[in-house]
Chain A
């Protein structure tokens, strides 16, 4: 075995983001090497440097023993490094084959030599165990298959060193299994695979070696067979881990939210976006909504918030709110942590104190009469920042200058500040680091104990199981199953999400 890639003391400073201080790692050929760390620890930066998207301020990169200086990704591709991005970069209206050869088409004079391309792609797919029909349109493919196209695309360009950036983030458990089988196939073919993740159980399943980074520095390089997930996690965080759990039954008799037969029909008359959803949510109860993204969870949130027209009835604290506007619902005491914070919950180019107002502009403490109470808002913003550990210079800082995790903490703080009686929390801990995750969970726990009803939507199955009193599984717009989180494992929940049970 030889060393395929070696990084020596890479450093990179950035405005606003934790930079790489001192990252070293050494990846052998024919192995899967995981790079783990919290969000913001510098994993992505290292990989962007290795892939030529950014240039390091210091340190060395060696590929197959020779030092390299990449100016752009083309240089990296030239050096047989390939990247499978977390967000796929595929043209939907092209076939699989066209997507794979896009940008490096084999020429036959001035025409594309599809025959040669097809032959090569089919051979590659067979060789690496990446079965796929080269002639279907990409838009018809599921997420797992699209990822396969991405992998083939990288291989087609001659990559021998493959970087996978959080490849499982978008996959359901069964697709993860398929991906891991494919990774084993690639490993057997002598590829070097760098696997970036913060899901430690997956890392231990698939990787041979693990490099742990924390706050921009390599803190450990270990063999995966020598460590447990907990040890890895503690290396990542540098201390003990928070757990998504709740204590006891805090459910109160009164029903905070009741949905009766709620549907959102489409204009074209095809399948309803959500269909006949009914459930009751008591005060002090957390209902977890599980489901693969795009199965109606977002639409359910929109119906509850009044952002979308629906049929059926929604009752809040005993009264029907079908005709209440978004503003009215918020004022009644429904809080929202939306799934896409930058798009739905922030004005990125406004200071934090103005972001504090958003969603609360109709009453105290923000308003005094019809005039903004700026002094009060700034004091209040400062209080939220302190209580929720939002790391920023002050209320005048623009939202865009904050890291994603800090933006999320700010939004959670803003919504909690009003103590709503119902909180709709869509992916409340998505993209935040372990410390902030623990803080947000703690906040939800405390609110639940005080009688807040919470609708929790998440893609993190452990979070769903740990935090919920009741689990509803959504599949193709309907509630496909109701599960007791105490008796459900992530695998069982994953199966239910794909409709396998």
Chain B
């Protein structure tokens, strides 16, 4: 039994290790192609990336990735694919910021109210795709991509025409600032207490806590509840799930809407913790990077946390590449090669595991 566990552990580590090696090779080739030394690049990135300020930024970058990845993982586990997280989080963040600035509530309640608004908007936006799939058989992949395009245009239009705060005369169109009660306090005061010092340009979003809580809730609901079981059953064998009594249409709709609701939160770390308003500079691409984060993290809450942090680290630390004259966008190559090689490595390990189990079975039945 002990040996069995040990071999499991080795197997679990084999895939990420192999993937890391392959992706380092690919990234090095990319750096070499621009006539620079990969070693220099890595040392520069490591030195810059491991400073306290960079680590804080890494955490801030990873938080929306993580939340969005959970949203995507919900649909992956149900055998669906929500590519529309980008649009859902954008609309969620914008409505949350706009409506949240219209009222005043006690501090914690105000933030919760904004979250509920964002989740509702994100959920409704994703539910359109769920509805179309259930009622009209439209592939959710196609409809969510289209809804992304709509969300982009819609948010620009609404912001410019209705939501823009005309009392300020900045060039950057923005909604009205959230009142103080609607701003998520930074974690720095807390971190100071455990001996972490303030850094220039640093600071850690309070939403990190929400992200961690979401990860725990995600794990519990998926693995331990009936809803989670039925969702996974629909993902792994939709026909058997239906035969077992799962209302498959409802499951599609609910999974999409839930995913969208979680996605709605992914735009809030910056809105609640930094800009305190939705503006034209709202970060784009979170929803797409999060697809990679979910894939790399195997839809597993811990795995996705690690991959979100890794993506955040690469993104932040690669800024230093400019100093030695390498295009900072090299990190995109790194992210891509990590993703690709790990997806392949996981598949290889998965197949090997099945063979291993069959062998064990053969031994057990004495064949």
Contacts and interface: CB of A to CB of B under 8 A. Distances in A.
Interface of A: 13-19, 216, 305, 307, 325-331, 336, 338, 343-350, 354, 357-362, 367, 370-372, 374, 391-393, 397-398, 400-402
With a 10 A CB-CB cut-off, give which of B229, B232, B242, B243 has the most chain A CB atoms. B243
Contacts of B226: 361-362, 367, 370, 372
A216 B367 CA distance: 9
Given A15-B355, A15-B359, A17-B367, A343 B237 contact: yes
A372 B224 contact: yes
Contact of A402 (B230, B246, B361): B361
A14 to B, nearest CB: 7
Nearest to B356: A15
A16 B243 contact: no
Given A346-B240, A347-B233, A372-B225, A359 B361 contact: no
B138 to A, nearest CB: 19
B316 to A, nearest CB: 37
A344 B361 CA distance: 23
A398 B354 contact: yes
A397 B361 contact: yes
The 3 residue pairs across chains A and B that have the minimum distance between CB atoms: A327-B245, A16-B358, A15-B358
B243 A338 contact: yes
16 contacts: A15-B361, A16-B359, A17-B362, A18-B367, A216-B367, A328-B245, A343-B237, A344-B239, A346-B237, A347-B233, A347-B237, A361-B229, A362-B226, A362-B245, A370-B225, A370-B227
Give the interface residue-count category, chain B: 20 to 34
B235 to A, nearest CB: 9
Interface string B233-260: 1001101111111110000000000000
Contact of A15 (B229, B237, B362): B362
Given A18-B367, A371-B225, A336 B243 contact: yes
Given A16-B362, A360-B244, A401-B354, 19 more contacts: A15-B361, A16-B359, A17-B362, A216-B367, A326-B243, A326-B245, A327-B245, A338-B243, A347-B236, A347-B240, A350-B232, A350-B236, A354-B229, A358-B244, A359-B243, A361-B229, A361-B244, A372-B224, A401-B360
A211 to B, nearest CB: 21
Contact of B245 (A16, A359, A400): A359
Nearest to A302: B243
B242 A326 contact: yes
Contacts of A350: 232, 236
Nearest to A400: B354
Contacts of B139: none
B51 interface: no
B43 interface: no
A400 B225 CA distance: 24
A109 B335 CA distance: 53
Nearest to A393: B364
A347 B362 CA distance: 21
B357 interface: yes
Contacts of A360: 244
A431 B229 CA distance: 29
With a 10 A CB-CB cut-off, give which of B230, B241, B358, B367 has the most chain A CB atoms. B367
With a 10 A CB-CB cut-off, give which of B227, B242, B245 has the most chain A CB atoms. B245
A442 to B, nearest CB: 21
B229 A372 contact: yes
Nearest to A367: B226
Contacts of A329: 245
A360 B241 CA distance: 11
Interface of B is mostly: helix
Given A361-B230, A391-B364, A397-B357, A345 B240 contact: yes
Nearest to A357: B229
Contact of B244 (A359, A367, A372, A400): A359
Nearest to A358: B244
Contacts of B237: 343, 346-348
Given A348-B237, A372-B226, A392 B245 contact: no
A17 B365 CA distance: 10
Contacts of A401: 354, 357-358, 360-361
Contact of B240 (A325, A358, A393): A358
B362 A392 contact: no
A325 B245 contact: yes
B94 to A, nearest CB: 35
Contact of B361 (A370, A372, A393): A393
A330 B245 contact: yes
Contacts of A17: 362, 367
B243 A371 contact: no
Nearest to A372: B224
Contacts of A391: 361, 364-365
B238 to A, nearest CB: 10
Given A327-B246, A344-B243, A358-B240, A16 B361 contact: yes
Interface string B140-165: 00000000000000000000000000
A344 B242 CA distance: 8
A17 B355 CA distance: 11
With a 10 A CB-CB cut-off, give which of B233, B247, B361 has the most chain A CB atoms. B361
Contacts of B361: 15-16, 391-393, 397, 401-402
Given A16-B362, A347-B233, A327 B354 contact: no
A338 B242 CA distance: 12
B240 A392 contact: no
Interface string B337-367: 0000000000000000011011111101101
A307 B361 CA distance: 35
With a 10 A CB-CB cut-off, give which of A15, A307, A347 has the most chain B CB atoms. A15
With a 10 A CB-CB cut-off, give which of B224, B226, B239, B360 has the most chain A CB atoms. B226
A398 B358 CA distance: 9
Nearest to A344: B243
Nearest to A350: B236
Interface in B120-144: none
A367 B357 CA distance: 28
